[in-house]
Structure 1
Amino acid sequence: MTRRTDPVQEATDAEALMDAGLALMVENGGRRTRVADIVSAAGLSNDAFYRSFDSKEALVEAIVERGARTVVGYVRHRIAQLAGEGPEAQLRAGLAAVVRQASDDALARQTRIVLANATVPAPHSGHVSVALVDALAALFAQPAAELGAADPMRAARTTAAAVLASLQYWLFTQEVPSPAEVEHLVGFLLAGVRAPDSRRR
């Protein structure tokens, strides 16, 4: 007889496992974190782990996806905060919110450690990147339109992809972008949003 599973309990277990896994990865620094340690820290069983995740790599991928959702939520919050300040201020705030993941030492260290705990490239890592670009583009499209972009969604998607590429560069090189570097990036991307559409020439 197949035992029934409780979707709510499974979701709760998955969150607990991600919390425990993230905390242990940060605590262990560059050392690999074992599934057994994660299960013990979460106060759950191996069965509970494998009901939620196929492997530790799947857990790491889920942590990355959750982090991406957090970034999108923070960007949305910063853009909404500056709703009365005009589209340039909103887009500046949104871009700076993304770059914060590299300029904030604690956030950058946490992200590097999580990625270092993946023994192989996550099978859906490309999907996570595409989803993140699309989610950010959806937030950037309205300010881009108000700034005069000929194709707001195209400009927003290009801007989102470019700021994420810069973020990845700083994370992987372990460089902390200076305020001048962040300002250069933001100014460069704003100029790109305002650039004429070459297809109309």
Structure 2
Amino acid sequence: MWTLAVLNAGLFIFFAYTFYTPATRRDWRSFGMYSAFIVALFAEMYGFPLSLYFLSGWLTSRFPEVNWLSHDAGHVFEMIFGWRANPHFGPFHVLSMVFIVWGFWLLSSAWAVLYRAQRLGQMAATGPYARIRHPQYVAFVLIMFGFLLQWPTLITLAMFPILVIAYWRLSKAEERDSLARFGESYARYQAVTPAFIPGRRRPAVTA
């Protein structure tokens, strides 16, 4: 079903683009990594199930009651943990949708703040940026993790930790640029605001 693979990949890439709207070279790098993950995911979901092909012998020997050549079998966690009803209503699929929606919401909220700050030449320190310094990278990781829960593949499982490290490196480069541009204001913000995981208190920062 290659038509569905192309349509779904295009939809989720376009959807993220409308939420994120990359402008700088660094923005395009982070968006490109997400897009590569999405293409790899839907190429197996609706194209050729490479992971199931390679693992079919091992999976069949351990879970002979599952038809691993069916489309639903791609919801591997649902199959392994015994969810034999419609996997789209299984616990892993529902949880994956929570992460995906959460990620897109965070991406949209963060970009609105960043866009206003860039237009005014100010430091982004409100909204999601008041809780964590890199909400846009956290959002991409949440979305990709959600898709992994829903439809894990060998390629996307291998890509995920690499992309997390890549986003971490991009965040460090972004912080160096912000320190060079905003100086002490960003240093104070950096000192009280966690990078990726929000703390218990919401810091009050004056840019």
TM-score bracket for the superposition, by shorter chain length? 0.3 to 0.5
- TM-score where L is the length of structure 1: 0.34
